[in-house]
Amino acid sequence: MNNTLIKLRSIEKSFDGERVLCGIDLDIHDKEFVTLLGPSGCGKTTTLRIIGGFENADTGDVFFDGERINELPAHQRQVNTVFQRYALFPHLNVYDNVAFGLRVQKLKEDEIQVRVREMLEMTGLRGFEARRPATLSGGQQQRVAIARALINRPRVLLLDEPLGALDLKLRKDMQNELKRIQRETGITFIYVTHDQEEALSMSDTVVVMANGRIQQIGTPTDIYNEPVNAFVADFIGESNIIDGVMPEDNKARFAGHTFDCVDGGFAKNEAVDIVIRPEDVDVVPVEKGMLSGVVSGVTFKGDYYEIIVDVKGFKWMIETSDYVAPDEKIGLYIEPDAIHVMKKSEYSGKFGDYSTFSDEMDHLSDPDAEVSENEEEAILS
């Protein structure tokens, strides 16, 4: 985990005059599961393609195991890729697809056979050897793509939204499977996704990107609990982001109330963004609450209720297991360690207010709700 395998230094990249990467610095360690997370157009796939050798950075350097590999073509790099929508060779069957890399290396057929068997075993594809990719389900194609890449025993496996085209249930299974494969093989995984849940549940390290810049690098827990700015707080999970000031260390003033908190190190009365996760707010009787508000919406989510509470015009999202009725006046209680204070950033004020929130809206405004080809076809037919 300690030695750095891949180093990106001040990588910049433009397409047709449009900057997609503005100075990416990133260290990726050996045997690490790193996820590049961000909305579409944030530059995560471009970053991956630069590591894979499919794009060249305009400026900046790529180091692999200490060596600068900017000019090294893709076929000479010790990385393999699981492509978005797989790119399995349609003229080859499963066996030949998986054996492809070894045949290029001109290994003996009997050794190839042993290794392909082993790889098909690991990915649960025994019995599918003679099938063409087009006759496989999405999940099976996914496994072939992984087997085809891993059989070359790369130092690093690049995965470009590999689960994007799968349905939810299959996606969860494949997440566990990928994690298992990564542990078993000890290969460094660089995983690109826009799905924050996927990123949090699989990764050792999450790299949150937006607008061609890295916003935050950290463990899933860090990213969730200590987001550095309003973008990260909003993108990872649900957040109430409120304007506030820090009168002194361990005190935060927002929503007309001064709270105890556990953050410090800001200038006296510095304006800040306050993040409070919906599950960290307790619903209490009005007289016991630090804040009070009127419930304006209640949504049943199965194991909890998601309620929207209007506190002096700012709408909070709160998750509670107790039912509250719409229009009920309730009190809110927040533990000091649930209050997270962030410096103001370019993203301040853009996120974290639920006044226009609805599930439908959230879905519609999700820039990554990309319809996969299969789904498109299904819709068309």
Partner 1 sequence: MKKKLSFLERAAAVPHMVWVVMFIVAPLLFVAYFAFTDVGGGFTFSNIQLLSSYSHIFLVSICFSLVATFFCLLIGYPLAFFMSRAKPSTQKLLTVLLMLPMWISLLIRTYSLMTLLDNGGLVNSLLGKLGFDPIAMVGTGGAVILGMIYDFLPYMVLPIYTSMQKLDNRYLEAAADLGCTPLQTMLRVVLPLTVPGIISGVTMVFVPSISTFYISQKLGGGNFDLIGDTIERQFKYPSTYHVGAAISLVMMILILISVAVMNRFSDEKGEMIV
67's tokens: 């060596």
Among 56, 104, 118, 326, binds partner 1 (CB under 8 A): 104
Shortest approach of partner 1 to residue 146 CB, angstroms? 13
Q: Which stretch binds partner 1 (CB under 8 A): 5-13, 99-107, 319-327, 330-338?
A: 99-107
- The answer for residues whose C-beta is within 8 angstroms of residue 91's C-beta and 6 or more apart is none
Q: Would you give the binding string for partner 1 spanning residues 293-332, x where CB under 8 A is met?
A: ----------------------------------------
**What Cα–Cα distance (Å) separates residue 331 from each residue in 118, 220, 286, 310, 326?**
60, 31, 4, 11, 14
In this complex, which beta carbon is closest to partner 1, that of residue 134 or of residue 380? 134
Angstrom CA distances, 354 to 244, 272, 340, stand at 17, 19, 18
Compute CA distances 15 → 58, 73, 290, 291, whole Å: 10, 20, 51, 49
Single residue of 83, 304, 333, 357 touching partner 1 by CB under 8 A: 83
Query: From the list 9, 29, 31, 85, which residue makes contact with partner 1 (rule: CB under 8 A)?
Result: 85
Which residue is it, tokens 């290794």? 115
Task: Decide whether 52 or 244 has the Cβ nearer to partner 1.
Answer: 52
Q: Which is nearer to partner 1, 144 or 341 (CB)?
A: 144
Query: How many residues make contact with partner 1 (CB under 8 A)?
Result: 25
Contacts (CB under 8 A) with partner 1, residues 61-80: 73-75, 79-80
Give min distance, CB of 33 to partner 1, in A.
20
Q: Which helix (H) or strand (E) segment is 199 a member of? A: helix 196-202
Cα distances (Å, whole numbers) of residue 155 to 55, 80, 122: 19, 8, 18
Least Å distance, CB 90 to partner 1, is: 6
**Touching partner 1, residues 32-61 (CB under 8 A):** 52-54
Read off the tokens for 218.
């950290």
Residue 41 burial (CB count, 10 A): 17
Residue 148 Cβ, how far from partner 1 at the closest point, in Å? Answer: 7
Q: Is 108 in the site for partner 1 (CB under 8 A)?
A: no
Q: Are strands 314-320 and 33-37 parallel, antiparallel or unpaired?
A: unpaired
User: Least Å distance between CB 74 and partner 1?
Assistant: 4
Residue in 33, 64, 100, 347 binding partner 1, rule: CB under 8 A: 100
Query: Could you give the 3-state DSSP secondary structure of residue 263?
Result: coil
Closest approach of Cβ 118 to partner 1, in Å? 17
Using CB under 8 A as the binding rule, whether residue 89 contacts partner 1 is answered as yes
Least distance CB 87 / partner 1 (angstroms) = 4
Which of positions 131-160 make contact with partner 1 (CB under 8 A)?
132, 134, 148-149, 152
With 0-12 / 13-18 / 19 or more C-beta atoms within 10 angstroms meaning exposed / middle / buried, residue 107 is middle
User: What is the Cα–Cα distance from 51 to 119, expressed in whole angstroms?
Assistant: 25
State the helix-helix crossing angle for 168-185 and 138-150, rounded to 10 degrees: 20
- Which one, of 177, 343, 152, lies nearest residue 264 by Cα? 343
Of 1, 3, 16, 90, the one binding partner 1 (CB under 8 A) is: 90
Q: Binding of partner 1 at residue 91 (CB under 8 A)? A: yes
Cα–chain-centroid distance for residue 94?
A: 30
Please give the residue ranges that form the binding site for partner 1 (CB under 8 A).
52-54, 73-75, 79-81, 83, 85, 87-91, 100-101, 104-105, 132, 134, 148-149, 152
